[in-house]
């Protein structure tokens, strides 16, 4: 499904890179749990990094009930950004250097998840998205821990993606210059898991650790 852009989500600069369809937006959100949340607190703008996850047409994030970001963002307009960095683009002129990336920007009023059962369910969904099968192996979350956690959500009604991929775009006359140009690809690599120093002897990483991947 493609949503028509609003005044806030319409990409004006290099609009050929704009995408407004779920088929582009959702995979970017699913592939990168790290996001930044922009909000205003006591008249001052802040941008705070946190983890997000998507369920259908909503994204969620959570943290300490004492968090300034969560307190300030509740029932107010926020801007959430997720970016995947895919490579450095090296051209034949300094002006045409760039980078390859996939980004999503979402606007809207953040809402608080108040229902205890819903909050626990969505925390489970978040963990199961990252580590399938882990939730049921863990010590059960206490009421105190759940009460100390605030969760906010945002419906993806005002959202757009911007994507740049491929080689450099040089001026036509510059292609004859004797200079190297191209792309240095960048990827996120998962390394071997490292045991907690206090791990009980004999425990090895389960499948959801050894096979961990994002997206």
Which domain CATH number covers 206? 2.30.110.10
Instruction: Specify if 4 maps to a domain.
Output: no
Q: Quick check: is 40 in a domain?
A: yes
Residues 6+ apart with CB under 8 A from 31: 84, 102, 214, 215
Taking the model in full, what pTM does it have?
0.91
- The end-to-end CA distance of the chain, in Å, is 20
Burial of residue 136, with CB atoms counted within 10 A of its CB: 0-12 exposed, 13-18 middle, 19 or more buried: exposed
pLDDT digit string (tens) for the chain, length 215 residues: 677 887 777 776 767 778 889 999 999 999 999 999 999 988 999 999 999 999 999 999 999 877 877 787 778 899 999 999 999 999 999 999 999 999 999 999 999 999 999 999 999 999 999 999 999 999 999 999 999 999 999 999 999 999 999 999 999 999 999 999 999 999 988 899 999 999 999 889 999 998 888 76
DSSP 110-148: -EE---HHHHHHHHHHHHHHHSTT-GGGSPPPPHHHHHT
Residue 179 maps to a domain: no
Residue 178 belongs to a domain: no
Determine how β-strand 98-109 pairs with β-strand 77-90: antiparallel
DSSP state at residue 179: -
Q: State which residues form the domain around 36.
A: 15-169+184-210
Cβ burial of 106 (10 Å; 0-12, 13-18, 19+) is buried
Q: Alpha helix locations (H) across 61-111?
A: 68-73
* 198 found inside a domain: yes
- 197, part of any domain: yes
Looking at the domain assignment, is residue 204 inside a domain?
yes
DSSP state for residue 15 in the 8-state scheme? G
Residue 134 DSSP class: -
Six-digit token string for 11: 């990409």
At 121, list the tokens. 């369910």
Instruction: Assess contact for 126 and 118: CB atoms under 8 A.
Output: no
Rounded to an integer, what is the distance from CA 104 to the centroid of its chain?
A: 8
Phi, psi (deg, nearest 5) at residue 116: -60, -45
- Residue 38 falls within a domain, yes or no? yes
Number of domains in the chain: 1
Q: Tell how strand 149-155 and strand 111-112 pair up.
A: antiparallel
Neighbouring CB atoms inside 10 A of 150's CB total 21
Q: Where are the beta strands (DSSP E) in the chain?
A: 18-19, 34-41, 44-55, 58-64, 77-90, 98-109, 111-112, 149-155, 158-164, 182-185
């Amino acid at each position: 499904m493609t949503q028509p852009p609003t005044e806030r989500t319409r990409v004006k600069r290099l609009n050929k890179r704009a995408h407004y369809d779920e088929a582009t937006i959702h995979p970017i959100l699913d592939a990168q749990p790290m996001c930044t949340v922009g909000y205003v607190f006591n008249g001052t703008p802040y941008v705070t990094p946190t983890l997000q996850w998507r369920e259908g047409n909503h994204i969620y994030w959570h943290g300490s009930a004492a968090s300034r970001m969560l307190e300030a963002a509740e029932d107010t307009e926020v801007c959430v950004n997720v970016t995947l960095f895919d490579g450095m683009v090296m051209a034949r002129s300094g002006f045409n250097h760039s980078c390859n990336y996939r980004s999503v920007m979402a606007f809207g009023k953040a809402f608080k998840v108040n229902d205890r059962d819903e909050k626990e369910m969505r925390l489970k969904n978040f963990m199961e998205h990252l580590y399938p099968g882990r939730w049921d192996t863990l010590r059960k979350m206490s009421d105190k821990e759940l009460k100390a956690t605030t969760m906010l959500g945002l419906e993806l009604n005002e959202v757009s993606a911007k994507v740049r991929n491929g080689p450099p775009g040089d001026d036509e006359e510059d292609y004859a210059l004797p200079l190297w140009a191209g792309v240095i690809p960048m990827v996120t690599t998962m390394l071997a898991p490292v045991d907690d120093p206090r791990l009980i002897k004999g425990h090895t990483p389960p499948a959801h650790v050894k096979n961990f991947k994002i997206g």
